Amino acid sequence: MKLTLWTYEGPPHIGAMRIATAMEGVHYVLHAPQGDTYADLLFTMIERMNKRPPVTYTTFQARDLGGDTAELFKDAARSAYARFKPDLLMVGASCTAELIQDDPGGLAAALQLSVPVLPLELPAYQKKENWGAAETFYQMVRMLGKDYVLPPGEKRKPRAAGLPPSCNILGPTALGFRHRDDLVEIRRLLRQIGVRVNVVAPLGAKPEDISRLHEADFNVVLYPEVANSAAQWLSKNFGQPSTKTIPIGFNATRAFIEEVCALAQIHCDIDELTKRSRARWYALSVDSTYLTNKRVFIFGDATHAIAAAKVASQEMGFQVVGLGTYSRELAREVREAASQYGIEALITDDYLEVEQRITELQPELILGSQMERHIAKRLKIPCAVISAPIHVQDFPARYSPQMGFEGANVLFDTWVHPLMMGLEEHLIGMFREDFEFHDGAAPSHLGHGHHRTSANEANVASEPTPVPEVAVANGAPVTDSVWEPEAQKELNKIPFFVRGKAKRNTERFAIERGLPTISLETLYDAKAHFGR
Amino acid sequence: MNRVIPLQPTSDTCDSSDRAILKERGQREVFCGLTGIIWLHRKIQDAFFLVVGSRTCAHLVQSAAGVMIFAEPRFATAIIDDHDLAGLADANEELDRVVNQLLTRRPDIKMLFLVGSCPSEVIKLDLSRAAERLSKTYTPRVRILNYSGSGIETTFTQGEDACLAALAKEIPQHAQDHPPQEEVDLLIVGCLADIVEDQFSRIFNELGVESYAFFPSRRSGDIPRLGPNTRYLLAQPFLTDTARVLDDMGAKRIPAPFPLGVEGTEAWFAAAAKAFGIDPNHVETVIAPKRQRANLALERQRQVLNGRSIFFFPDSQLEIPLARFLHRELGMQLTEIGMPYIHRQHLAEELALLPAEVSLSEGQDVEKQLDRCRSYRPDMVVCGLGLANPLEAEGLTTKWSIELVFTPIQGFDQAADLAELFARPLVRRTKLAA
C-alpha cells in the first residue's frame, strides 16, 4: 500500500482508452464497476472532445457480484458490437474487474464476432497508464501486421527509384500533452524536407491503416513512452529503422532533421528551415541575460524531461539543479541525461519524494507537470508545465506545439513567463520596503490577482528555524546552527527567489565548520564560499 | 391576514404510489461515491479523506479536483498493490503505516475518513475495524471514521450519504454519560453552502425554532447532540442511510418536499414549523416577504424557460425536486426524469407534485436512454460531463448536472440563481447564434 497524494499516471486501462479514443473504427469493451465511466470526462472535458470515447463499460454493481458478471460482460460486448459496428474490438478489465477474473479475452472469443478481437492483459496493480498505452498499441500493431512479416532471412527491399521517401509517425494519442499540435508541426517539417507520411498512428488511424505500417521506409517515433515497443517490433519484423531524436527545442529539431534526412537518404537545407524560428534570437537578446544560471528543477515523463533539460541548459542558459521522471521504463535514459549536468536523476512516481527534493534544492523555477504546480504553490516557486499529467488549461485552443521550431518559440514564452521580469527583479533587490512592489508580492506582470502572499507571511516563511539555546551549550556536535537576529535580518534582504538557497548554503557552511551560531559574517563568508 | 395554504397537488398530478417507473439496467454513466470528497473536503475543513483503493480511484479524484492547485491536499489514496492482494493481514499493517505517515505530515487533521472503494470492498478489507483500531491509537487527537464510496455500492451523491451516515453514528445521544451539552430539537441534515445555512438560520430564528443544528457542521468537532424529541429535516434527497441511522437513534423525520424553488422552500419550512406547533399566521408573516422577493426574481428566468422541454439523465437524485421546481414555477415541459435511485418515502411529497404524464426512470441503460433523449429532441438535457459536450455537438443544449451539487441552490434567495443555472445555457446558445 502506498500513500499517494497525487498520481502521475492513471491505471493502465486509461492508456488503452487513449489508444482506442485516438483511433477510428475501434471500440473498447471494458469490464469495470459502476463509476469507472469517469474516464470519459478526461476526453470530453479535459481534452474537450465533441464525441463520446468509443468505450462500453459493463458498470457492474455489488448486486451483480453475486450473479454472473461474465454473462454481463458478454451482453455488453454483444450489444456494443451490434450498435457500433467497429472494425476492431478491444476487450479488457479495469482494476476491480481484474480481481473477479472473468477473462474478457476468452469470453469475447466465445462470441465469435466477425471482426478481429484484441484481448488486453493490463495488470492494474503493477503497471500504469503509459505502459497500458504502449502495450495496447504494440499488441494491435502485432496483430494487424503479422501477416506481412518478412520471412526469416529476407531483407527489406530498397525503395524503388523515383519514389519519395516515406515514414510513419508513431506515438500521438488522445489525451497526450500537445500531441495535436506537435503532429501538425512535424508533418509540416517532413513535408518541407520532402518525406511523405504513410500512416500516423494511433491518432486518427483506422485498423486498416495499422496493417499498412510496413509500407513506410522508416518510423518517426515522437513519444517513446507510447510507441517504443511497437517501433521495435516493426524494426525487427519489417526492417524499418526509427528516429531516436525527440524534436523538442531548437537544437534538437535541427538534429532531428539531420537524422530524418539520413534515414530517408536525402539532403535538405537546414538553415532555410530554421528561418521561422525566433527562440534562439530571443534567448541571445540582452533582455534574456538575467536568465543566466537561474536554477531550474525539471520533472515529467522521460521524453519531455530529458528534452526540457537540454533546452534549459543549452538554449536558455539555466542551470539544471534537478532532473527526474516518473517513467520507470525510461529511467536509464534519464540517468544518463542527468549525469551530463553532474546531478543524480530522481526516478520516482512518489509525489512526496519529488516535493522533498524540490524543497531541498530550492530552485528558482520548476518545469514539471500539473502535480509540480501543487508543490510550486506550496513552496511559492514559479512553475511552468512541460509534461503530462496535465489539466484542461494545457489543452489550449491556440496552436501550441512543443516540437519543431514553433515549439521552441512556445517553450521560450512559457518558461520565462512565470519568472519575475528583469527590471522588477533588480529594483526589488535594491529597495525592499516599497508598499506595492514588495517581497511578498508576486511578479507584477502576472497581475494583481496573483498575490504570492502578504509581506508578513513571506517573512515568516523565510524565517530561519530557531533552535533552543540548550542545544548550543551542551557541546554536542553541531547539527543545526542558530541565526543571530542581525544575520537573520540580513538574510531577509536577499531577494526571495534566491533566499531559500542562500539560507540552506549558509546553514550548510556553518554546520560543516561546526559553528553553533550564524552571524552576519558567517552569512557573507558562506556567500563568498559558494558564490551565486 | 393570509394563512399558509398547504401545497395542493394540481389536478393533473397523481399519487406517487400508482406511478409507473421504468426500471432499467445496462451501462450506467454515473460517478461513484468517491466523488463526494470534492465538496465534503471543503465543507468539513479539518477532515481528511483517505481513499483505500487502486490507482483508478486516485486518478478519479485528482481528475475531478486536481484542476484546483492545492498547497495542502485534503484527500489522498492509499493505493493497493499486488503485495497487498497476497494477504489481508499485511494489508492492515500497511494501512496503519500509511495512516501514520499521513498524520505525521499533517498534524492539523482532526478527523480522518477511511473511504472504501470497489477494490477494497471486493477483497473485503475491513475498513470499519481498521478505523476502530486506528482510533484507539490516535484518540483524542484524531477521530478516524469509515464509509464506502465504492462504485459498486454508491452512486455519486450517495457518497455524501455514506459519509454523513458514518458521522451520524458519532452523534452523542441523550441518557448517556457524555459531557453536558445542549440537545437540539431540530437537526437539518445534508451539506449546504455556507450562505444557505446562514439564511436558513435566520429564518429558523424568525420562526421561533430556537434549538437547531446543521449536520454536518463546518468543523468536525462540533457535533450536535440528540434529545429524546429531536426531529430532523432532510435538506437533500439522497440521504437514505443517514436518515436510517438517525431513525435508529430515535430521531423523527419531518416529511417535506426539498427546499428547492420558492414553493419547495416554503413547504420545507412550513413542515418544520408545523412539527413544532408554530402558529401558521406567524409562519406566513415570516415567509411572505421572502416569497414575494423570490417570485419577483424568478420572473426574469421564467421568460427564458417557460414552455421549454427538459430531459434529465440520472446523476444525483436531485432530479425529481429540480424537475418539480422547473415545471411548476418556471413552466418547463418535462419529458423523462432519470434518477439513479428513487427513495419513494423521502420523495413522496415531491412525487405528488409532479404531473402524471411525465416518464420516470430509475437506473440506466445509457445507450437506450440516449436514443430516447434524441427522439424527444428536448430544448435542454441535464446530464453528466461525459455526455454534455458530445450532446452539444449533436445540437442539443445541455446543463451539466454536477454543478447542481456544488452551487448554492436551496432557499428563497437562491431560487432565481437555480433557475438561472438552467437559463444560462439557453441564453448562451442564443447569444452565440446571433
Between chains, do B390 and A391 touch, taking CB under 8 Å as contact? no
Within its chain, how far is the Cα of B60 from the centroid? 19
Q: Pick the residue from chain A with its C-alpha nearest to B73.
A: A5
Q: Pick the residue from chain A with its C-alpha nearest to B120.
A: A96
Option in B66, B101, B389 nearest A49 (CB): B389
pLDDT tens, residue by residue, A339-355: 999 999 999 999 999 99
Helices (H) and strands (E) in chain A, counts: 24, 15
Between chains, do B66 and A370 touch, taking CB under 8 Å as contact? yes
For the ranges A349-358, B35-44, B82-91, B138-147, the lowest mean pLDDT is seen at: B82-91
Q: Pick the residue from chain B with its C-alpha nearest to A389.
A: B63
Between chains, do A37 and B27 touch, taking CB under 8 Å as contact? yes
**Distance separating alpha carbons of residues B154 and B135, to the nearest angstrom:** 25
pLDDT tens, residue by residue, B133-162: 999 999 889 999 999 999 999 999 999 999
In A, which residues are within 8 Å of B56 by CB distance?
10-11, 13-14, 36, 94-96, 124
In B, which residues are within 8 Å of A125 by CB distance?
54, 80-82, 85
Tell me what pLDDT residue A422 has: 63
Is residue A287 annotated as a catalytic residue, yes or no?
yes
The CA distances from residue A125 to A6, A12, A131, A386, B82, in Å, are 16, 9, 12, 27, 5
Which B residues, 147 through 176, put their C-beta within 8 Å of a C-beta on chain A?
150-153, 155
Tell me what pLDDT residue B3 has: 43
Contact between residue A86 and residue A25 where contact means Cβ atoms under 8 Å apart: yes
Edge to edge, the sheet with strand B398-400 lists B21-24, B359-363, B333-339, B309-312, B380-383, B398-400
Option in B63, B118, B119 nearest A41 (CB): B63
CA distance A21 to chain B (A): 14
C-alpha cell at B202: 435566520
Residue type, A221: V
Which residues have CB under 8 Å from B198's CB, separation 6+?
none
**Distance separating alpha carbons of residues B60 and A36, to the nearest angstrom:** 8
The phi, psi pair for B307, rounded to 5°, reads 85, -10
B434 burial (CB, 10 Å; 0-12 / 13-18 / 19+) is exposed
pLDDT tens, residue by residue, B342-377: 999 999 999 999 998 899 999 999 999 999 999 999
pLDDT tens, residue by residue, B287-301: 999 999 999 999 999
Between chains, do A9 and B55 touch, taking CB under 8 Å as contact? yes
Report the half-sphere exposure of B138 (CA within 13 A, side-chain side). Answer: 25
Does B30 reach chain A within 8 Å, measured CB to CB? yes
Which residues have CB under 8 Å from A521's CB, separation 6+?
none
C-alpha cell at B156: 455519486
Tell me what pLDDT residue B17 has: 53
**Distance separating alpha carbons of residues B253 and B323, to the nearest angstrom:** 23
Residue of A68, A75, A287, A413 marked active site: A287
Which B residues, 46 through 105, put their C-beta within 8 Å of a C-beta on chain A?
52, 54-56, 58-60, 62-64, 66-67, 69-73, 76-82, 84-85, 91, 94-95, 97-98, 101-102, 105
Q: Pick the residue from chain B with its C-alpha nearest to A125.
A: B81
| pLDDT greater than 50 at residue B2 | no
For the ranges A166-175, A365-374, B15-24, the lowest mean pLDDT is seen at: B15-24
Contact between residue B311 and residue B429 where contact means Cβ atoms under 8 Å apart: no
C-alpha cell at B274: 408545523
Q: Pick the residue from chain A with its C-alpha nearest to B388.
A: A44
| pLDDT greater than 90 at residue B76 | yes
Between chains, do B56 and A62 touch, taking CB under 8 Å as contact? no
C-alpha cell at B61: 479524484
Tell me what pLDDT residue B71 has: 75
B13 bridge partner residues: B355
B311 bridge partner residues: B381
Does B356 reach chain A within 8 Å, measured CB to CB? no
Report the half-sphere exposure of B208 (CA within 13 A, side-chain side). Answer: 15
Q: Of A428, A416, A439, nearest to A287 (Cα)?
A: A416
Residue type, A53: P
| pLDDT greater than 80 at residue B18 | no
Tell me what pLDDT residue B179 has: 53
**Distance separating alpha carbons of residues A35 and B60, to the nearest angstrom:** 9
Binning pLDDT at 50, 70 and 90, where does residue A477 land?
Answer: low
DSSP per residue, B100-120: HHHHHH-TT--EEEEEE-HHH
Tell me what pLDDT residue A465 has: 42
Contact between residue A493 and residue A520 where contact means Cβ atoms under 8 Å apart: no
Tell me what pLDDT residue B176 has: 52
Mutation site for A-interface testing, chosen from B35, B41, B50, B55 by largest number of A Cβ within 10 Å: B55
Tell me what pLDDT residue B11 has: 47
Helices (H) and strands (E) in chain B, counts: 16, 14
pLDDT tens, residue by residue, A404-416: 999 999 999 999 9
> H or E element: which one contains B187?
strand B183-189
Between chains, do B387 and A2 touch, taking CB under 8 Å as contact? no
In A, which residues are within 8 Å of B49 by CB distance?
none
In B, which residues are within 8 Å of A40 by CB distance?
29, 385-386
Q: Number of residue pairs across A and B with CB atoms under 8 Å?
A: 186
| pLDDT greater than 80 at residue B175 | no
Q: Pick the residue from chain A with its C-alpha nearest to B392.
A: A50
**Distance separating alpha carbons of residues B248 and B171, to the nearest angstrom:** 12
The phi, psi pair for A298, rounded to 5°, reads -125, 130
Mean pLDDT of B83-104: 87
CA distance B385 to chain A (A): 6
Q: Pick the residue from chain A with its C-alpha nearest to B91.
A: A1
pLDDT tens, residue by residue, A370-380: 999 999 988 98
In A, which residues are within 8 Å of B84 by CB distance?
1
A271 burial (CB, 10 Å; 0-12 / 13-18 / 19+) is exposed
| pLDDT greater than 70 at residue B317 | yes
What mean pLDDT value characterizes chain B? Answer: 91
| pLDDT greater than 70 at residue B392 | yes
In B, which residues are within 8 Å of A27 by CB distance?
none
**Distance separating alpha carbons of residues A196 and A217, to the nearest angstrom:** 10
Tell me what pLDDT residue A532 has: 59
Within its chain, how far is the Cα of B345 from the centroid? 16
CA distance B397 to chain A (A): 13
C-alpha cell at B214: 446543521
Residue with cell 417570485: B295
DSSP per residue, A89-115: EEEEE-HHHHHHT--HHHHHHHT--SS
Tell me what pLDDT residue A399 has: 97
In A, which residues are within 8 Å of B122 by CB distance?
65, 96, 99-100
| pLDDT greater than 50 at residue A288 | yes
The CA distances from residue B424 to A147, B220, B238, B303, B380, in Å, are 55, 36, 26, 12, 11
Q: Pick the residue from chain B with its C-alpha nearest to A10.
A: B59
Option in B28, B63, B389 nearest A59 (CB): B28
In A, which residues are within 8 Å of B124 by CB distance?
none
Tell me what pLDDT residue A66 has: 79
Contact between residue B124 and residue B87 where contact means Cβ atoms under 8 Å apart: no
Tell me what pLDDT residue A478 has: 56
Binning pLDDT at 50, 70 and 90, where does residue A453 land?
Answer: very low
What mean pLDDT value characterizes chain A? Answer: 90
Residue type, A117: V
Tell me what pLDDT residue A425 has: 74
pLDDT tens, residue by residue, A301-329: 999 999 999 999 999 999 999 999 999 99
pLDDT tens, residue by residue, A42-66: 999 999 999 999 999 999 999 999 7
Tell me what pLDDT residue B7 has: 52
| pLDDT greater than 90 at residue A450 | no
- Kindly tell me the sign of the dihedral angle through the C-alpha atoms of B106, B112, B114, B115: negative
Tell me what pLDDT residue B4 has: 44
In B, which residues are within 8 Å of A58 by CB distance?
27
**Distance separating alpha carbons of residues B59 and A124, to the nearest angstrom:** 13
Binning pLDDT at 50, 70 and 90, where does residue A440 land?
Answer: low
CA distance B225 to chain A (A): 34
Write the secondary structure of A345-401 as one string of H (helix), E (strand) and C (coil): CEECCCHHHHHHHHHHHCCCEEEECHHHHHHHHHHCCCEEECCCCCCHHHCCCCCCC
Between chains, do B79 and A36 touch, taking CB under 8 Å as contact? no
Q: Of B254, B122, B249, B237, nearest to B190 (Cα)?
A: B237
- Tell me which of A10 and A500 has the higher pLDDT: A10
In A, which residues are within 8 Å of B54 by CB distance?
11, 95-96, 124-125
CA distance B199 to chain A (A): 30
C-alpha cell at B131: 478505523
CA distance A415 to chain B (A): 19
CA distance A123 to chain B (A): 9
Mean pLDDT of A464-489: 61
